[in-house]
Amino acid sequence: MHIETAISLRDCNTFGLPATAATLVRITSEADVRQVVNHPELGPAPKFILGGGSNVVFTRDVTACLLKVEITGLRVVEERADAVIVEAGAGVRWHDLVAWTLGQGLPGLENLALIPGTVGAAPVQNIGAYGLELADRFDSLDAVDLISGRSVTLDRARCRFGYRDSVFKRELAGKSLITRVRLRLPRPWQPVLEYLDLQRKCEEAGFIEGRLPGARQVFDWVCEIRRAKLPDPAVIGNAGSFFKNPVVSLEQCRDIIARDPHLVHYPMDDGQFKLAAGWLIDACGWKGKSVGAAAVYEKQALVLVNRGGASGGEVMTLARAIQESVYGRFGIRLEPEPIVV
Ligand code: EPU
């Protein structure tokens, strides 16, 4: 096990924010995790787990022992009549897993193409896009308990997935390190095309009257839509959506629509409504506004970007100003989506 000290994290977070880790350990196997747990100094120290750094805002240096997950490996575990189970190491880039499954002729993850970050981080916030969530394709995962060093396997129920939420953001935050994730790809495959942007693509390409696009086509569309709307972190620092889409009651939704008829809202199964936070922020006039080098992306108000040299403090000052203005106009408290350190 190699312990690194005083490491810059600027290249380890997609926002490109400055911070250092007092202690960093690269985790390439379960054995590495156990070595950390049994280490006389690192064992009892608080831990911070980092994957691709695509969902974190560093506002200060990390004093906890930072475990950078770099476990590799991709394999088909089981082929059943109703599903194929694939497994990926937690350090594999999520998009590489999606592309690999398609290359193997195993569709099912195409709606989740191009999501930045690693496989191990995907269950933490239950990544989702274009009508599909990780939870819809999740089979199970392996993790190591950071106190006992014991390996555990968690099924879907034990992960307690919610909208951009799981047990790893709550009770198990910093206590359990995900090492491998297994996905269940249902057979026969059926495209997921309910999302408005995908329906538009279907119409434009002439997929009508029961003629359905293939998985590779859906993958290409999702990549196109994302590239048009979302900034590439390799070009301009960002952490994807900065706020969660808020959920409100029917009464609250009606009340807002009475004043703002164009409110973008989606009915949910439980009778509540999910509102498009991007629309709320846009309606308050935030697109393109900035605090220092932190700015609201011009093409998608839900994304905050680093125009070059921003600090985590600037990002959070901008975020708080947005929260206040949305609360002032709509009475809704926006909740940040990334983990703020
Ligand atoms: N909108 C505006 N102005 C804006 C932004 C959005 O009016 O500046 C409106 C759009 O016109 C659209 C609606 O808001 O009618 C929703 O926008 P979009 O389809 O872009 O999706 P979103 O709700 O902003 C969510 C996820 C994204 C995911 C997309 C596609 C959250 C917090 N975000 O965004 O996830 O890619 O749906 O499924 O749920 C992420 O989590 O980092 C992420 C990018």
**Topology classification of domain 237-340:** 3.90.78
CA of 212 to the centre of ligand 1 (A): 25
Lookup: tokens for 312: 């985590």
**Reported pTM:** 0.94
Per-position pLDDT tens, the chain of length 341: 789 999 999 999 999 999 999 999 999 999 999 999 999 999 999 999 999 999 999 999 999 999 999 999 999 999 999 999 999 999 999 999 999 999 999 999 999 999 999 999 999 999 999 999 999 999 999 999 999 999 999 999 999 999 999 999 999 998 999 999 999 999 999 999 999 999 999 999 988 777 899 999 999 999 999 999 999 999 999 999 999 999 999 999 999 999 999 999 999 989 999 999 999 999 999 999 999 999 999 999 999 999 999 999 999 999 999 999 999 999 999 999 999 99
CA of 45 to the centre of ligand 1 (A): 38
CATH class of 74-186: alpha beta
What residue ranges do the domains of the chain occupy?
Answer: 2-69, 74-186, 237-340
Our answer on whether the CB atom of 74 is closer than 6 Å to any ligand 1 atom is: no
**Topology classification of domain 2-69:** 3.30.43
Q: Is 279 helix (H, G, I), strand (E, B) or coil?
A: helix
Question: Helix 215-229 to helix 196-204 angle, to the nearest 10 degrees?
Answer: 120
Nearest-CA residue for ligand 1 atom 19 is 197
Q: How far apart are CA 74 and CA 89, in angstroms?
A: 7
Our answer on whether the CB atom of 316 is closer than 6 Å to any ligand 1 atom is: no
Active site residue ranges:
164, 241, 337
Residue with tokens 């609360």: 327
CA of 240 to the centre of ligand 1 (A): 10
